[in-house]
Amino acid sequence: MTTPAPSPPPLHGEHTAATRRHQATPQSTTRPTVLFLRGPFGRVMLANFAFFLNFASFFLLPLFVKELGGSEATVGWVMGTGGLATLLTLPAVALWIDRVHRRLVFQTGAVIMTLAALGYLFVHRIGPEIVCLRLAQGVAFAASFTAATTLAASLAPAAMRARALGWFGVSTLLTHALAPALGEEIIHRNGFPALFVTAALCSAASAWWISGVGEHPVSGSTRTARATLPRAHYVLAVVMVLFGMGFGCVTTYAASFIKTQQLGRVGGFFAAYTASAIGVRIFGGSVSDRWGRRVVILPALATLGLAILALAFVRQAPALIAAGALFGLAQGLAYPTLHAFLVDTSPAAALGKAQALFNGSFNLGVMASAFLFGVIADAWGQRWMFACAACTPWLAALLFGVGARNQGPAVRAS
C-alpha cells in the first residue's frame, strides 16, 4: 500500500481530513446515506420538515399584512416581532435544552406553533392580536428549532459532520420552496384562512412524528456541567447576527419586492434559491469535512453578499431567478459549515447551550433586519434596502476571517 505524502501540521484546534476519516465508524464511511435517512436522524429530519412547512408558510405573511392595509414598515414590525420573541425565549431554552428531553422541547414548540397558526383565522386588522400571534410563533420556533438542531448535531458522525448537517438542512430548505409556492396557490384558490389551517396541520404532524425518536436520558454530569464556551463561539455569534441580517432581509421582503416590481410569482424565486441550496448541500456538503471550515465559510459569505446586491439591480424575472440561485448556493454552503464549526468546538455538556447561542444570534440578525431594512425601504426604496443588506455578510466574512483565524475545525466526539 502506498504511503500518503506527509501533510503540513494543522492549525491550532484543527484536525486533518485524515484524522476525521480515521475517527469515522465503519457504518458512517460505507453507508453514509443510510445513516442520514434512516433511524433517529432521519426521523428528526422528517419532523423538522413538517414543522418548517408551517414556519415557511408565513414567508407569505407580509402579503396578509399588506391586505390588511399595512406598510413596508408595518411588515417589518410584524415580522420582526417573531424574531424578538425567539431571542427573548432562547436564554430559557439554553438553560433547559441540555437538562430535559429534547424531543419534549420540540413537541412543546410544535403545539404552540399549531395553535398560533389557527389564531390567524381570527385576525381581521393590524392590532395587538397579530403581534401576540407573532410572539407565540417566535417562542415556538426557539423551542422546536433549537431542539431539532441539537438532536441532529448529537446524531451526526464527527468525520462527516458538515455533510450530515447539510443533509439535515435540506429538510428546512425544501420547505422554503414548497411552502411559499403551495401557499401562494392555496391563497389564490381559497384565501388566507386555508393557508393558516394547512400550516397548523403540518406542525401538528411534526409533533406526532418526532414522538418515535428515542433519546438517551441526560446524565447527571451533563445536567450539572458548567462547561465554558470557547472564544470562537462569541466571534461566531456576531458572525451569525450579520449573516442573519442579510438572510432575513431577503426572506422578509422578497415577496413584497417581487409583487411591487411585477417580477412574477414569489414561488419562482424561492424555488430557485431552494434548489440551488439543496443541490450544493447534497453534492458539495463534504468539502469542509475534507479541506477545513474556513475554506468554505469565507467565500460563501462573500458570495451571499453579491447575491443580495444583485437583487438591487433585478429588472426581469430571469435575473430574479439567477439571483435566487446564487443566494441559495451561498446560503447552502455557509450555514451548515458554520453550524459544523460550532459543533466541532462545543464541549459535549454544553452542546444545547452552544446551539441556543448560535440560533439566537442568527435570529437576532433576522429580527434586526426586519426592523431596520423596513425603515430603509420606506425611506429610500427596496433596491437601496438590498444594497445596504449586502454589506452584512461581507462584514461577517471579515470578522470570521480575522477573529477565527486560529480556530479551525476540531473533531468533537459524537
Grid coordinates representing 63?
A: 402579503
Its pTM surpasses 0.85: no
- The reported pLDDT for the residue numbered 405 is 56
DSSP code at position 160: G
32-211+220-403: which CATH topology?
Growth Hormone; Chain: A; (1.20.1250)
Task: Return left, alpha or beta for 228; rule: phi > 0 is left, psi -120 to 50 is alpha, else beta.
Answer: beta
What are 391-394's contacts with CB under 8 Å, separation 24+?
391/305, 392/242, 392/243, 392/245, 392/246, 392/249, 392/305, 392/365, 393/242, 393/243, 393/246, 393/301, 393/302, 393/304, 393/305, 393/308, 393/330, 393/334, 394/301, 394/302, 394/305
Each of the 414 residues of the chain gets a pLDDT tens digit; together they read: 444 444 443 333 333 333 443 343 333 333 444 445 567 777 888 899 999 999 999 989 988 998 888 887 788 788 878 878 887 888 888 777 767 778 888 999 999 999 999 999 999 998 889 999 999 999 999 899 888 988 887 777 667 777 778 888 888 878 877 898 899 899 999 999 999 999 999 999 999 988 877 655 444 444 444 556 677 788 888 999 999 999 999 988 888 888 888 888 777 888 898 889 888 888 876 777 778 788 899 999 999 999 999 999 999 989 999 999 999 999 988 988 898 888 887 776 667 778 788 877 887 888 788 778 888 888 898 899 999 999 999 999 999 988 765 444 444 433
The domains of the chain are located at 32-211+220-403
Unique residue bearing C-alpha cell 431567478? 321
- The reported pLDDT for the residue numbered 38 is 64
Dist CA 111 CA 398 (whole Å)? 40
- The reported pLDDT for the residue numbered 240 is 94
